[in-house]
Amino acid sequence: MKKTMTMLLLVMFSGPVLAQNYVDKSNREWKRITPTYGLTVAALAAVCSQDPCRGSAGGIDFTGWTWANQTQVVELMREFQAGAPVADAYQTYQLSAQAFQRALGTTLSSTNQYSSMASTTALTSSVDPISRKAILGDVYSETNSFYSVGFRFAVAENSTPYSRSAFMYRRASSTLPPVPVVVAPRNCSINGRVILHGSSVVAYQSSRPALGRSCVSQVRVCSNGLLSGSYTSLTCTAPSR
């Protein structure tokens, strides 16, 4: 007798692996994120005490790479999402977060029939001035009954309870063509409601028409941040006679 089970599938990499590392507008070639559970701040600092790094930490060879600081990682994030670091509980940054993860890699992802998540978590060389702990950069996207997406930073704990790596770059070779930047189309909003690029919403001329008149509707379509039409009411109730 066969039993059907729903299993959580943990995947260390998500999306297609690019043939080359991502090259940003400042001609920095970014090392593809490699997940590991053994990378500590102390071990990384030991091999990256000077630029470039020399040696391995957490099973990853960082020789020849420079450990990026928070400012440089912010610049990298903003090539995918303007205004980063940003976060929300909608789908506003979903496409740009996924583009970042395809270009740089992921440290952890999972999916089942109810939800999916992906995260790119990596250490920067910057230190939080209060706690004196290293600062983590994290690009994440999660979907279940709601969306949670963002480009953010957090203070790294000394332990490694989850998979993480480090943001590393080197000066790109003049013969290495840059990886095209995937620019995510912009979503729209109307009365606080997010309308995804390519989606539509039915809006009404008035939420409550005059006595004897019916609701007048209009289909408004979102195209890269621009919403067609002009009606602004999302609901309409015609008065009874």
pLDDT reading at 11 higher than 60: no
Whose tokens are 């690019």? That residue is 18
pLDDT at 12: 30
pLDDT reading at 136 higher than 50: yes
Tens of pLDDT, residue by residue over 213-238, are: 899 999 999 998 899 999 999 999 98
Helix, strand, coil % in the chain, rounded to nearest 5:
10, 35, 55
pLDDT reading at 198 higher than 60: yes
pLDDT at 234: 92
pLDDT reading at 4 higher than 60: no
pLDDT at 148: 75
pLDDT reading at 9 higher than 60: no
Tens of pLDDT, residue by residue over 159-170, are: 444 567 888 999
pTM: predicted TM-score of the whole model, two decimal places: 0.63
Whose tokens are 């332990």? That residue is 159
Residues 201-212: what's their mean pLDDT?
90
Tens of pLDDT, residue by residue over 23-60, are: 999 999 999 987 776 678 888 899 998 889 999 988 88
CB atoms within 10 A of CB 47: 20
pLDDT at 202: 94
- Six-digit token pair at 201? 């919403």
Q: How far is CA 119 from CA 23, 72, 171, in A?
A: 20, 19, 26
- Cα–Cα distance for residue pair 162/8, rounded to 1 Å: 16
Region of 191 (left: φ > 0; alpha: ψ -120 to 50; beta: rest) is left
Q: How confident is the model at residue 146 (pLDDT cuts 50, 70, 90)?
A: low
